[in-house]
Structure 1
Amino acid sequence: MEKKTKEKNFHCDICGSSFLTSSYLKRHIRSHSDDKPFSCLICGASFLWKSYLERHLRTHTGEKPFKCETCNAAFSEKVHMHEHMRTHSGEKPYKCELCSSSFSQKSNMLQHMHTHTGQKPYACKVCDSAFAWQSALVQHMRVHSGEKPYECEVCGSKFASNSNMKKHIRTHTGERPHSCITCGSAFTVRSKLNRHMSTHTGVKPFRCEVCNVNFSQKSHLERHVRVHTGEKPFSCETCNISFAEKSHLVHHMQKHTGEKPYSCDECDASYYRKSHLVQHVKKHTGERPFRCEECYSSFTTSSHLKRHKTIHSRENLSTS
Structure 2
Amino acid sequence: MEHNHNDRKLHLCGVCGKSLSDHRSLSRHKLTHSTERAHGCQTCGRRFKLSGTLRQHEKIHMRGERTFLCDICCQMFWSSQQLHVHMRRHSAERPHRCRLCGKGFVTRGLLTVHTRVHTGEAPYHCPDCGLSFKRKVHLDNHMTIHSGAKPFVCAVCGKACARKTYLTVHMRTHSGERPYKCGLCDRAFTQSHCLKTHMRSHQGASAFQTLK
- TM-score, shorter chain, exceeding 0.5: yes
- The corresponding residue for 2:13 is none
**Percent of aligned pairs with the same amino acid:** 38
- The corresponding residue for 2:151 is 261
Distance 1:183 1:300 in 2: 21
1:72-104 deviations in whole A, cap 9, x for unaligned? xxxxxxxxxxxxxxxxxxxxxxxxxxxxxxxxx
Tell me how far 1:202 sits from its aligned partner: 1.8
Amino acid at match of 2:62: T
Question: Which segments of 5 or more consecutive residues in structure 1 lack a partner in the other structure?
Answer: 1-153, 158-168
Tell me how far 1:305 sits from its aligned partner: 1.8
Amino acid at match of 2:180: F
- The corresponding residue for 1:238 is 128
Distance 2:105 2:152 in 1: 30
Change in Cα spacing, 1:283 to 1:181, as seen in structure 2 (3 Å) is closer
Distance 1:230 1:315 in 2: 44
Amino acid at match of 1:232: A
Tell me how far 1:258 sits from its aligned partner: 1.9
- The corresponding residue for 2:194 is 304
Tell me: higher relative CO, structure 1 or 2? Use CA pairs within 8 A at least 6 residues apart.
2
Partner residue of 1:206 out of 77, 93, 96? 96
- Greater displacement, 249-258 / 184-193: 184-193
1:209-235 deviations in whole A, cap 9, x for unaligned? 333332222222221222222211111
Instruction: Give the alignment's TM-score, normalised by structure 1.
Output: 0.40
Check conservation: 1:187, 1:193, Cα contact below 8 A: yes
Distance 1:287 1:183 in 2: 17
Report the aligned-residue RMSD: 3.5
1:152-200 deviations in whole A, cap 9, x for unaligned? xx8xx9xxxxxxxxxxx98753311434466664202444312211023
Distance 2:124 2:207 in 1: 44
Distance 1:231 1:195 in 2: 26
1:242-270 deviations in whole A, cap 9, x for unaligned? 11101011112222222112234666742
- The corresponding residue for 2:19 is none
Distance 1:288 1:202 in 2: 28
Aligned residue for 1:211, secondary structure, equals coil
Instruction: Give the alignment's TM-score, normalised by structure 2.
Output: 0.57
- The corresponding residue for 1:72 is none
- The corresponding residue for 1:173 is 62
Check conservation: 1:231, 1:244, Cα contact below 8 A: yes
Check conservation: 2:124, 2:134, Cα contact below 8 A: yes
Amino acid at match of 1:216: V
Check conservation: 1:170, 1:176, Cα contact below 8 A: no
Query: Within the alignment, does 1:293 sit opposite 2:194 as a pair?
Result: no
Partner residue of 1:275 out of 139, 143, 165? 165
Aligned residues: 154
Distance 2:115 2:204 in 1: 37
Amino acid at match of 1:243: F
